[in-house]
Structure 1
Amino acid sequence: MQDNKKEMIENFTNKYSRIFKENSLIDSSLDEKYGVKRGLRDKSGKGVLAGLTQVSLIQASEEVDGKNVPCDGRLFYRGYNITDLVKGFNNKLYGFEEITYLLLFSSLPNKEQLTEFREILNDSRNLPRNFVRDVIMKAPSKDIMNSLTKSILTLASYDENISDLSLDNVLRQCLTLISVFPMLSVYGYHAYKHYECDESLYIHRPDDSLSMAENILRMLRPDKQYTELEANVLDIALVLHMEHGGGNNSTFTTRVVSSSGSDTYSVIAAALSSLKGPKHGGANIKVVEMVQDIKSHVADLKDEEEVRSYLSKIVNKEAFDKSGLIYGMGHAVYSISDPRERAFKGFVEKLADEKGRNADFELYSMIERMAPEVIAKERRIYKGVSANVDFYSGFVYSMLDIPVELYTPIFAIARIVGWSAHRMEELINGDKIIRPAYKSIATEKNYMEMNER
């Protein structure tokens, strides 16, 4: 009986999904006719201005002789160039907590402020009694982003002030979520591997004396061990993924849902749902899969012409996932370069050297160099194409033995800092619910005539 019902539902959905598609296709030429900015961007990649922010600044062009021309990308956190911030870590080793303070409170902390802030983050890193057992361990999922979202929404039921939108309460909620995201992510992964894959279960508590990056590796690995370089490179990855303007999909989602007056947990759950898509936070997974595909089909990985030929097949939808995309290449804003990728690449090379992955690094570098040429040759493009930060991040995570299921959650662990800053900024300055317009091109129909049939 159950099989019959399942078959009936499948037959219905197969039939009516086709009907829905037939009645929903819209001629793309109408975009230009009605001035629609598909993806809220014009053909050059410039976004529709939807609001103002002081959290970060992205520069992809500059004025020359009265005209805006593309330039090497620059990214500023609260006025500080991200490249300078990363260089400044050389004497401090770990920067996640310091840059979190900067993005939330608009200035770099002094020694006393940073010490106090770290203590607050440690004190906020507590889950309700039996939460790991009763929530994370129940119904574990291979999709850790879904597991993380479930945990966030469940945490809301433990908060007596869930709907209080006063800034001090929202800040408390944000600090708690920033602090517990690594635990929820890593424990969710361990639960999946134990209950679904029959592997050993181990739950390591974070150590208050360690940085965020160190604790992630400590909780993830059975022996809790990691090298200084491993933790340092992961810390850099977290900092570079923390924030990227108000227009990126998950941060814009944060501001849209915040503008409705929703609670912090619902807002962050919505942002997580946005981030998990392969066009956003899931892109680094696709890069790793694509490179593995290249390694499987190219006989000599040092032969540039052979690699170039296979990249052309990918662009022409003849290879890999047939999407026509070289993942990790191109960005909605940047054209000449992504400053995050440039700041990251040197650390990636150091880690590759320590891990004996120099050949892989050389392949990634070759693809980075050749892909823009291949794309420009095979496709009509309106702006330059360069490697983005996700081109190398998946490679780094693989060298750190971080499982692929945690690639996007690692992104979320970083980006919740930016989400928090934008949520509070929206609550302070936003006075209207965000509501863009969609023009209907539907034909009016007469219900009474249809009813007479």
Structure 2
Amino acid sequence: MTMQYDNLEDKLSQLVEYTKDSGKIDLSLYTEYDVKRGLRDSTGKGVLTGLTEISDVIGFDIDERTGEKVPTDGRLYFQGYNVADLIKGMEGRRFGFEEITYLLLFGSLPTEPQLNDFNEILSIYRELPDTFVRDVVMKATSKNMMNTLQRCVLTLYSYDEKPDDISIPNVLRQALSLIAKMPLIAVYGYHAYRHYHENQNLIIRNPKPELSMAENILQMLHPDGDYTALEAKVLDVALILHADHGGGNNSTFTTHVVSSSGTDTYSAVAASLSSLKGPRHGGANLKVMEMFENIEENVTNWEDENELRTYLTKILDREAFDGTGLIYGMGHAVYTLSDPRCVILKEYAKKLSAEKHREKEFALYESVERIAGECIAKKRRLLKPVCANVDFYSGFVYAMLGLPKELYTPIFAISRISGWSAHRIEELVNEGKIIRPAYKYVGHHRPYVAIERRTPRKTSHSFSNN
């Protein structure tokens, strides 16, 4: 039986007003109590909450004489190795993401026999449970692929004989299984979405054990199963660059927080996926793509720097694009002169734009990157430079690879689960305390009032009590 509700919208609107009033905190109290909002100090630097050996993010050097921070080209290290050196060292071989995953998990670069064994393990774990695609992936399809990943990861708990065992051997088994399965879940979920929501043909192509993760993603995703050598190489590099980024980024910190409670691997990964789904984290490159589509529509001559500068200033003044005053893909919490991931990805974006005959678009990205940094620094009177971050070029790269926008953030997740897994194991190995930062209560204690003596709350809007 369907129940009928009169004035439901008005009643809910009143509750919304109560929620807004109840949750509002005087902003001056954050200063009074020196609250580290966002776990950052007054300069924007992250508050130290943990230790890690997995990856290191460097955006400035320290002057030995003065002790002052000196802006420098950014550097990213995985288990002590500079990522730029790792990628350069793999130029002679076609693919390296699996090798980087091994490095993040086990702390050292594998020998060739070790890497071959590791790839064989991933190939075995890549197989999904019987009927999982039909019974889980194809049912209740979502338009947001991150939701699909979360749902499928949580459901895999039910297929595990030891889902709650958080011993290191079992957690490693679960981690390797999820790392191997994530590309299939994402790509199959996208095909199911296209079939049921856009009435497209349904094509499910099996992964090939002899192919790398990057190659399998492309052959399973592309309608004809084909891809060029450069396409696979660029995707492989993108996966490497997104595999980890220190312990303090939102989704990895979520991994540490949730793992510290002793919960199971599937719940921990689902929580990390929830964090990455947010547009301030994993969805940032989508905003960059939307911004560039807007720029391309409103700037008549992409080569005219004055016209570009004028329009970018309008964006900063909240007069253009989405009205937020943000130029997406510019700036980073740690990096100053450059984001090393952006520098590397830009190099491959240039190569790919030549193969795809999209050099004009790449030139526009280059111009916006340079001009936007100048405009932001001038507008906000910043002393330190503003560099482009990895999201600036990643969406453009994904578009050239033929990846649909629905899979931009899932591709991030496919890569970052390697880092999440390493950090989860690090948290469990070190047997840390449950992570519980302090919150100060700034409300008022009140006496209980019997229901017949209570009066309606006043809000900024008046509604009928009926």
Q: TM-score range by the shorter chain?
A: over 0.9
The Cα of 1:449 is off from its aligned counterpart by: 8.4
TM-score normalised over the length of structure 2: 0.94
* Structure 1 range deviating more: 401-410 or 9-18: 9-18
Q: Which position in structure 2 is the counterpart of 1:183?
A: 184
The Cα of 1:448 is off from its aligned counterpart by: 4.5
Q: CA RMSD in A?
A: 1.6
Structure 1 stretches lacking a partner, 5+ long: none
Q: Does 1:261 align with 2:262?
A: yes
What is the SS of the residue equivalent to 1:90? coil
Q: Which position in structure 2 is the counterpart of 1:62?
A: 61
The Cα of 1:42 is off from its aligned counterpart by: 2.1
CA contact (8 A) 1:340 1:388 kept: yes
Q: Please give the residue correspondences for 1:323-338 in structure 2 after superposition, counting only pairs within 5 Å.
A: 323-338=324-339
The Cα of 1:97 is off from its aligned counterpart by: 0.7
The Cα of 1:18 is off from its aligned counterpart by: 2.1
* Structure 1 range deviating more: 373-382 or 273-282: 373-382
CA contact (8 A) 2:377 2:383 kept: no
Name the CA distance, whole Å, in 2 between partners of 1:182 and 1:48: 34
Q: Could you say if the C-alpha distance between residues 70 and 33 of structure 1 is closer, same or farther in structure 2, counting changes exceeding 3 Å?
A: farther
The code of the aligned residue for 2:9 comes to E
Cα offsets for 1:314-367 (capped at 9, x unmatched): 112221111221111111211221111112111110000100110110111111
* Structure 1 range deviating more: 40-49 or 213-222: 40-49
* Structure 1 range deviating more: 374-383 or 108-117: 374-383
The code of the aligned residue for 1:167 comes to I
CA contact (8 A) 1:250 1:274 kept: yes
Q: Does 1:166 align with 2:167?
A: yes
Name the CA distance, whole Å, in 2 between partners of 1:450 and 1:139: 43
* Structure 1 range deviating more: 8-17 or 265-274: 8-17
Q: Does 1:252 align with 2:253?
A: yes
Structure 2 stretches lacking a partner, 5+ long: 455-466
The Cα of 1:440 is off from its aligned counterpart by: 1.5
Q: Which position in structure 1 is the counterpart of 2:22?
A: 23
CA contact (8 A) 1:45 1:383 kept: no
Q: Which position in structure 2 is the counterpart of 1:10?
A: 9
Name the CA distance, whole Å, in 2 between partners of 1:255 and 1:102: 19
CA contact (8 A) 1:43 1:382 kept: no
- Tell me how many residue pairs correspond in the alignment: 452
Name the CA distance, whole Å, in 1 between partners of 2:178 and 2:90: 25
CA contact (8 A) 1:44 1:382 kept: no
Cα offsets for 1:98-121 (capped at 9, x unmatched): 111111111111110000000000
Q: Which position in structure 2 is the counterpart of 1:341?
A: 342
Name the CA distance, whole Å, in 2 between partners of 1:411 and 1:60: 22
Cα offsets for 1:18-77 (capped at 9, x unmatched): 222123222323222211121111243311010100000111121112222222111100
The Cα of 1:96 is off from its aligned counterpart by: 0.5
* Structure 1 range deviating more: 21-30 or 443-452: 443-452
What is the SS of the residue equivalent to 1:91? coil
The Cα of 1:135 is off from its aligned counterpart by: 0.4
Name the CA distance, whole Å, in 1 between partners of 2:449 and 2:15: 24
Q: Could you say if the C-alpha distance between residues 158 and 142 of structure 1 is closer, same or farther in structure 2, counting changes exceeding 3 Å?
A: same
Q: Please give the residue correspondences for 1:129-148 in structure 2 after superposition, counting only pairs within 5 Å.
A: 129-148=130-149
Q: Which position in structure 1 is the counterpart of 2:202?
A: 201
The Cα of 1:382 is off from its aligned counterpart by: 7.4
Name the CA distance, whole Å, in 2 between partners of 1:27 and 1:381: 28
What is the SS of the residue equivalent to 1:196? helix
Q: Could you say if the C-alpha distance between residues 260 and 383 of structure 1 is closer, same or farther in structure 2, counting changes exceeding 3 Å?
A: farther
Moved over 6 A (4+): none
Q: Which position in structure 1 is the counterpart of 2:364?
A: 363
Q: Which position in structure 2 is the counterpart of 1:95?
A: 96
CA contact (8 A) 1:330 1:387 kept: yes
The code of the aligned residue for 2:56 comes to L
